[in-house]
Amino acid sequence: MRVRYLTCSLWILALSAMAIGVHACAPKGSSATPGAKIAPAPGDGHDGGVSVYHPTQRPASNGRCYVCHINYEEEELATLHAKAGVGCEKCHGASDAHCSDEEGLTAPRYMYAPAKVNGSCLKCHPRDRIDIKPHASLFDAAKPSGKLCTDCHGKHRLSKRTRNWDKATGKLIKGK
């Protein structure tokens, strides 16, 4: 009887572990479980604590990127997104060729020229969720401000570049 109880307990434990493993092991580069519910994040500090919505899941792992880009490990934009389960790959692609190029000559899969930054942010942060007073100048077509989301939300730029690529084509412009 005791052996049968232990055998059943072990099967239950094994099945539970498999269920947890299947749920936790999302495909590389995925930012949300298919069909995942969207839940509000805590207030972002703007007028009345307006919330921006984020996928509910475990934090994203950006360790693969931080091997070379350690400066982003403490950077506001990268850390807030990682906590919400949105990793570097969500915006910049898997960038396998970039990651495996020890010479650093291969560009990341996606880069954003200043004119494309806000449009990229709006893909996940739609206007109806962020149309608040501090953002008014971003949406005023009559008086374009030239401001970028990253002017206020994290300084998501490299302070020193050893490589520079054309952001539209990915071609190397300047090396070391």
pLDDT in tens, 95-108: 999 999 988 899 99
pLDDT of residue 158: 79
Two tokens, residue 30: 């995925």
Confidence of residue 175 (pLDDT cuts 50, 70, 90): low
CB contact set of 71 (below 8 Å; sequence gap of 6+): 158, 159
pLDDT of residue 7: 52
- pTM for this predicted structure: 0.62
Q: Is the pLDDT higher at 12 or at 123?
A: 123
* Residue pair 49/32 in contact by the 8 Å Cβ criterion: no
Bridge partner list, 53: 40
Distance of alpha carbon 44 from alpha carbon 39, whole angstroms: 14
pLDDT of residue 101: 92
Residue 91 exposed, middle or buried by CB count within 10 Å (0-12, 13-18, 19+): buried
Tokens 């509000």, residue located: 40
Each domain of the chain, given as residue ranges in start order, spans 38-174
Distance of alpha carbon 77 from alpha carbon 153, whole angstroms: 6
